[in-house]
């Protein structure tokens, strides 16, 4: 089971975990990304390449399923205007054993960071906006999965 | 051959368009050529495309390098490095 | 926020994730362990050392909180008779950044495996029972966190 | 000095008790000594405690090695290696 969702609305991690728990594995790992409210941030605007996003995410999920023995993968990524505390992204993985679930979960979020066509613009209380630049740290995190 | 250009994030903001149809001459063969050619269209294009090292591209919804051929492309997207997740 | 629960009844991972999402971090990682139904398993009995379990789990959680900058940790471990598909254990972590959340989540489940005073007895359809032996793999997984 | 013994998993099953009060002589100083001494209590004890390498211990709710002193212990637990998670 591989499912990829690109959506404006929020999602319920608990319901997604229940689906992953039902596929018969011994372990379900998840990561949920949330808008941090730092430095007077009032909005995080996520722009994406609508025609490309789902297929790019699907490719990332397929890559994980080739590399680890996974029973289920759910990726959800939101776009649009978010506020601090909002969920941005969900990665959930089910596998027979925990190592595959935990490693592939880390892989999936690292690759979404650097390979899913999203861009983030911060807007602050004073009206100033700023496009988030990719962090060298994120490139390093993604690079550790290169074979 | 007409190509639909898509622009995202600050590339879109600086150009002032999220998309446009273009018809580059034959000598525009690669993504890098296309960026250089597009930069001459307006001051906004020039500003957005001034530093190709800060740009990334997708051809027909697949990421492509600067030396990729745009020969049969129907759609080319230009944007800053992605920040998903 | 560090919370440790040792309980007979099940738990709702979604509600636990919501608590962790509320602490103000940018990422929440979780792992849920589930009873796999393999080889005609009809029951997994979890025995534990009641006077010791919660404090041993709390020590493991404190260790994680010393090692990574965590905003929240929730550990839930069940005991008693479980059946295939039942949840056994939940590890949830909130942190500002994803690396701390994902790494500490892996650490916590690895250490629970080898340092929480639980023992598991499988019972099969033919009535046979077997105590699960520790796996060398689990010892190796735990050993990678030694400093 | 009386000590409460706790047994778990197959140690409990083989001994046939989950707990018992004991009063070992003074020369029983360590966990390893205690295991050797307890093994003489019954055939079940002997069977459960035959291979100390397969046993682990906790003194007053803290994991302890085989050479740990039981001098002031009020409670000692013996069990196989744990399998949590």
Phi–psi pair at C52, nearest 5 degrees: -110, -25
Q: Is residue C53 pLDDT above 90, yes or no? A: yes
Closest partner residue to B79 among A88, A119, A133, by Cβ?
Answer: A119
Residues D22 and D28: beta-carbon distance below 8 Å: no
Give the model confidence (pLDDT) of C66-79 as tens digits: 999 999 999 999 99
**Considering only alpha carbons, which residue of chain B is nearest residue A108?**
B85
The total number of residues shown for chain A amounts to 147
Residue spans of chain A under pLDDT 50: none
Q: Where are the alpha helices (DSSP H) in A4-143?
A: 13-21, 50-67, 98-115, 136-143
User: What Å distances lie between residue A61 and A58, C11, D28, CA to CA?
Assistant: 5, 28, 59
Residue A38 burial (CB count, 10 A): 11
CB-nearest partner of B83 from A49, A52, A119 = A119
Handedness of CA A138, A140, A141, A147 (dihedral sign): positive
Render pLDDT for C102-138 as a digit per residue (tens, 0 to 9).
Answer: 999 999 999 999 999 999 999 999 999 999 999 888 9
**DSSP alpha helix (H) spans, chain C:** 13-21, 50-67, 98-115, 136-143
C28 has which bridge partners? Answer: A32, C94
Residues of C in contact with D63 (CB under 8 A): 56, 115
Q: How far apart are CA C136 and CA C48, in angstroms?
A: 21
Query: Between D79, D80, D84, which is nearest C77 by CB?
Result: D84
Q: How far is CA C109 from the centre of its chain?
A: 5
Check B83 against A115: CB less than 8 A apart.
no
**How would you classify the pairing of strands D3-7 and D75-79?**
parallel
Q: Phi and psi at residue C114, in whole multiples of 5°?
A: -110, -5
Is A116–B82 a contact, with Cβ atoms under 8 angstroms apart? Answer: yes
Q: What is the pLDDT of residues D12-25, one digit of tens each?
A: 999 999 999 999 99
Residue C37 reports pLDDT greater than 90: no
Structure tokens at D75: 């409670």
- Which residues lie across from A131 on neighbouring strands? A121
Partner chains of D (3+ C-beta pairs under 8 Å): C
Identify the pLDDT of residue C39: 81
The pLDDT tens digits for B26-70 are 999 999 999 999 999 999 999 999 999 999 999 999 999 999 999
CB contact under 8 A, C109 and D83: no
CA distance C95 to A42: 20
How are strands ordered across the β-sheet holding C118-124?
C80-82, C41-48, C118-124, C129-131
Of A70, A57, A58, A88, give the one whose Cα is nearest residue A20: A70
The nearest CA of chain A is from the CA of B26 a distance in Å of 27
With touching defined as 3+ CB pairs under 8 A, do chains D and B touch? no
Rounded to 5°, the CA angle A140-A115-C99 comes to 40
Helix pair A98-115, A50-67: axis angle to 10 deg: 150
3-class SS at C68? coil
| D82 to C88: CB separation less than 8 angstroms, yes or no | no
Report the run of H or E that residue A106 belongs to, with start and end: helix A98-115
Nearest CA in chain A to B62: A52
pTM of model > 0.90: yes
Q: Which of C141, C13, C143, C30 lies closest to C95, judged by CA?
A: C30
pLDDT above 90: residue C38? no
Instruction: Locate D20 and state its tokens.
Output: 């018992």
Distances (CA, A) of A79 to A9, A125, C80, D29: 8, 21, 44, 66
The answer for A 87-106 residues in CB contact with B (under 8 A) is 88-89
In the predicted structure, residue B1 carries a pLDDT above the cut 90: no
Could you identify the residue written with the tokens 């001994």? D15
Give the model confidence (pLDDT) of D25-78 as tens digits: 999 999 999 999 999 999 999 999 999 999 999 999 999 999 999 988 999 999
Q: What are phi and psi of D65, to 5 degrees?
A: -80, 170
**Contact A111/A41 with Cβ under 8 angstroms?**
no
**Residue A146 DSSP SS3:** coil
A106 vs C84: CA distance, rounded Å: 27
Do the Cβ atoms of C13 and C34 come closer than 8 Å? no
Our CA-based measurement puts residue A137 at a distance from the nearest CA of chain B, in whole angstroms, of 12
pLDDT score at C12:
97
Give the pLDDT score at C147.
Answer: 74
**Displacement of CA C119 from its chain's centroid (Å):** 13
Of D77, D62, D71, nearest to D5 by C-alpha is: D77
């Amino acid at each position: 089971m591989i499912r990829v969702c690109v959506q404006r609305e929020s999602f319920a991690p608990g319901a997604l975990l229940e689906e992953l728990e039902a596929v018969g594995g011994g372990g379900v790992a998840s990561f949920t990304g949330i808008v941090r409210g730092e430095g007077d941030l009032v909005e995080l605007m996520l722009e994406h390449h609508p025609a490309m996003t789902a297929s790019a995410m699907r490719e990332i999920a397929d890559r994980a399923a080739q590399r680890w023995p996974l029973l289920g993968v759910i990726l959800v990524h939101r776009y649009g205007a978010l506020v601090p505390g909002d969920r941005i992204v969900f990665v959930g993985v089910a596998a027979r054993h925990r190592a595959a679930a935990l490693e592939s979960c880390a892989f999936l979020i690292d690759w979404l960071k650097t390979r899913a066509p999203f861009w983030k613009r911060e807007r602050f209380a004073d009206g100033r906006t700023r496009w988030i630049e990719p962090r060298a740290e994120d490139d390093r995190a993604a690079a550790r999965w290169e074979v | 051959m007409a190509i639909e250009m898509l622009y995202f994030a600050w590339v879109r903001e600086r150009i002032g368009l999220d998309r446009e149809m273009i018809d580059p001459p034959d000598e525009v063969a690669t993504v890098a050529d296309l960026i250089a050619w597009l930069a001459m269209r307006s001051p906004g294009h020039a500003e957005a495309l001034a530093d190709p090292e800060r740009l990334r591209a997708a051809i027909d919804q697949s990421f492509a390098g600067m030396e990729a051929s745009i020969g049969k492309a129907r759609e080319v997207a230009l944007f800053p490095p992605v920040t998903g997740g």
